[in-house]
């Protein structure tokens, strides 16, 4: 005999399972990835409707890297070097440019990224925050992609929808997405 | 307390919910059986054609494809900035009308064995009655740069709220999650080889 309680637990389990999020990251196969000591975080590509989303998320990334003990070049200095390097836009930044930036800024890693969702969505369960981020670490000596992580978070949870528990704010969601993405840089290996 | 028969019945109902209530997934794919995919070590993902209302949809899906290809460990991917520069150097303004000679030249320029072309047909929320849910439809193609032939192509769509999300409050997919699943499942068809 199976108790009713177990059946309810089973249903809850399936409900939660159906909503599980996913993420993946990549570490270059040939590289024994060392977490860089000093990095430059280039302005992120903004693929959202919010014109400030990329810069907001970039600041969260910089703060998170600093918390992890990685030295980060001051964003104003990065902008100055980008302007002086005659790079028309970040979409057309070449490996040659990456190498030059690495030399100029004296960093052992360059972080590039794009934000493809940042805002409050209205779905069948009401309004909820959604943040989606893609980060890449490039080796300034070779221009190769050493690490890449794509992470998304958002949507109402079962508890939020049915029991009215407090959902995460947009900022909290952004911080969690960034933290989870950067965790994979320290995890090493391929997911 | 309930009997074992009731528990089995519950199990069957849950399985049926999963099978019948799943959101729509449609897939069509082709993979060239004669082509040796082990030859492809490095690819360039070209800018995608965007057929949606969202002006960033093409780039969003392109970044996701790059991320998934890297994570799959199947191939190396050229940095997008280099792709943009190479397209300019080769005077390619319209990706959809590239000739075989241009594909060959691009392959040599970027030192890749194949290029990935893509189209985003749908990226957004679709309303079905009172319910709106994310829907994503993409087409990806791999063209080998020696002969310019298509060696892999896949069309994948996913959308709609699933049964559990609609009726039991399970967490519904966000647009980004739907996009991730569509791209991941599309790339997984390459694992055949």
DSSP per-residue letters across A8-40: HHHHHHHHHHHT----EEEE-TT--PPPPSEEE
B54 dihedral zone (left: phi>0; alpha: psi -120 to 50; beta) = beta
**Is the Cβ pair A121, B132 closer than 8 Å?**
no
Whether residue B15 lies inside any domain: the answer is no
pLDDT surpasses 70 at A165: no
We report the CATH number of the domain holding residue B188 as: 3.40.50.10610
How sure is the predictor about A20, in pLDDT bands with cuts at 50, 70 and 90?
very low
Whether residue B84 lies inside any domain: the answer is yes
pLDDT at residue number B2: 59
How sure is the predictor about B132, in pLDDT bands with cuts at 50, 70 and 90?
confident
How sure is the predictor about B28, in pLDDT bands with cuts at 50, 70 and 90?
confident
How sure is the predictor about A35, in pLDDT bands with cuts at 50, 70 and 90?
confident
Mean pLDDT computed over every residue of chain B? 85
Indicate the helix (H) or strand (E) that contains A145.
strand A145-154
How sure is the predictor about A24, in pLDDT bands with cuts at 50, 70 and 90?
low
pLDDT at residue number A191: 45
% residues pLDDT > 90 (chain A): 53
Whether residue B178 lies inside any domain: the answer is yes
Mean pLDDT computed over every residue of chain A? 83
> Closest residue of A to B129, CA-based?
A124
pLDDT top residue among A56 and A1: A56
**Is the Cβ pair B81, A125 closer than 8 Å?**
no
Å between A101 CA and nearest CA of chain B: 14
% residues pLDDT > 70 (chain B): 80
Highest mean pLDDT among A7-11, A18-22, A166-170: A166-170
pLDDT at residue number B21: 47
Domains of chain A and CATH, by start: 24-187 (3.40.50.10610)
How sure is the predictor about B112, in pLDDT bands with cuts at 50, 70 and 90?
very high
Q: Which domain holds residue B32?
A: 23-192
| From B64, B79, B164, residue closest to A15, measured CB to CB | B164
Give the pair of three-digit tokens for residue B20.
């019948």
pLDDT at residue number A34: 80
Whether residue B6 lies inside any domain: the answer is no
Please indicate if any CB of chain B lies within 8 Å of the CB of A173.
no
How far does Cα B63 stand from its chain's mean position?
11
> Closest residue of B to A90, CA-based?
B81
Residues 52 through 81 of chain A touching chain B, CB cutoff 8 Å: none
pLDDT at residue number B20: 47
pLDDT surpasses 60 at B19: no
Please indicate if any CB of chain B lies within 8 Å of the CB of A47.
yes
Q: Which of B128, B184, B129, B123 is nearest to B160 (CA)?
A: B128
Q: Which of B96, B107, B91 is nearest to B47 (CA)?
A: B96
> Closest residue of A to B23, CA-based?
A18
Instruction: Tell me the average pLDDT across A41-53.
Output: 95
**Is the Cβ pair A24, B85 closer than 8 Å?**
no
Whether residue B93 lies inside any domain: the answer is yes
In this predicted model, what pLDDT tens digit does every residue of B96-107 receive, in sequence order?
Answer: 889 999 999 999
The count of domains in chain B is 1
DSSP string, chain B: -B-HHHHHHHHHHHHHHHHHHSPEEEEEEEE-SSS-GGG--EEEEPPPEE-SS-TTHHHHHHHHHHHHHHHHTS-EE--HHHHHHHHHHTT---GGG--HHHHHHHHHHHT-SEEEEEEEEEEEEEEETTEEEEEEEEEEEEEETTT--EEEEEEEEEES--HHHHHS-PPPPPHHHHHHHHHHHHHHGGGG-
Tell me which of A19, A146, A173 to substitute to probe the interface with B (most B C-beta atoms closer than 10 Å): A19
Whether residue B16 lies inside any domain: the answer is no
How sure is the predictor about B161, in pLDDT bands with cuts at 50, 70 and 90?
low
In this predicted model, what pLDDT tens digit does every residue of B30-89 receive, in sequence order?
Answer: 888 888 888 999 999 999 999 999 999 999 999 999 999 998 888 999 999 999 999 999
| A130 interaction partners in chain B (CB closer than 8 Å) | 174-176
Whether residue B179 lies inside any domain: the answer is yes
How sure is the predictor about B171, in pLDDT bands with cuts at 50, 70 and 90?
low
Whether residue B18 lies inside any domain: the answer is no
Please indicate if any CB of chain B lies within 8 Å of the CB of A123.
yes
pLDDT surpasses 70 at B110: yes
How sure is the predictor about A92, in pLDDT bands with cuts at 50, 70 and 90?
confident
């Amino acid at each position: 005999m199976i108790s009713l309680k177990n059946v309810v637990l089973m249903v809850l389990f399936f409900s939660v399972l159906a909503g599980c999020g996913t993420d993946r990251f990549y570490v270059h196969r040939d590289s024994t990835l060392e977490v860089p000591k000093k990095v430059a975080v280039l302005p992120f590509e903004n693929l959202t409707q919010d014109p400030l989303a990329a810069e907001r998320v970039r600041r969260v990334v910089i703060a998170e890297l600093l918390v992890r003990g990685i030295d980060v070049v001051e964003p104003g200095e990065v902008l100055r070097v980008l302007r002086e390097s005659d790079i028309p836009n970040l979409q057309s930044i070449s490996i040659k440019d990456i190498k030059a930036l690495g030399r100029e800024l004296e960093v052992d890693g360059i972080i590039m990224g794009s934000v493809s969702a940042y805002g409050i969505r209205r779905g069948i369960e009401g309004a909820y925050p959604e943040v989606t981020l893609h980060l890449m670490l490039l080796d300034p000596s070779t221009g190769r992609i050493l690490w890449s992580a794509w992470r998304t978070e958002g949507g109402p949870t079962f508890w939020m929808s049915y029991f009215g528990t407090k959902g995460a704010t947009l900022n909290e969601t952004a911080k969690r997405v960034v933290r989870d993405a950067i965790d994979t840089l320290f995890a090493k290996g391929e997911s | 307390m309930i009997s074992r028969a009731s528990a089995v019945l519950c199990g069957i109902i849950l399985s049926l919910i999963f099978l019948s209530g799943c959101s729509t997934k449609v897939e069509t794919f082709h993979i060239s059986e004669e082509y040796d995919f082990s030859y492809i070590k490095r690819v360039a993902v070209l800018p995608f054609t965007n057929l949606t209302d969202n002006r960033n949809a093409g780039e969003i899906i392109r970044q996701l494809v790059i991320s998934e290809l890297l994570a799959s460990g199947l191939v190396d991917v050229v940095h997008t900035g280099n792709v943009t520069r190479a397209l300019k150097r080769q005077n390619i303004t319209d990706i959809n009308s590239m000739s075989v000679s241009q594909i060959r030249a691009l392959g040599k320029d970027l030192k890749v064995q194949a290029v990935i072309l893509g189209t985003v047909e749908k990226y957004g929320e679709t309303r079905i009655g009172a319910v709106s849910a994310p829907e994503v439809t993409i087409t990806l193609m791999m063209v080998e740069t020696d002969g310019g032939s298509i060696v892999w192509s896949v069309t994948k769509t996913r959308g709609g709220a699933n049964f559990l999300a609609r009726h039991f409050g399970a967490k519904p997919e966000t647009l980004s999650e739907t996009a991730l699943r569509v791209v991941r499942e599309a790339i997984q068809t390459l694992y055949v080889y």
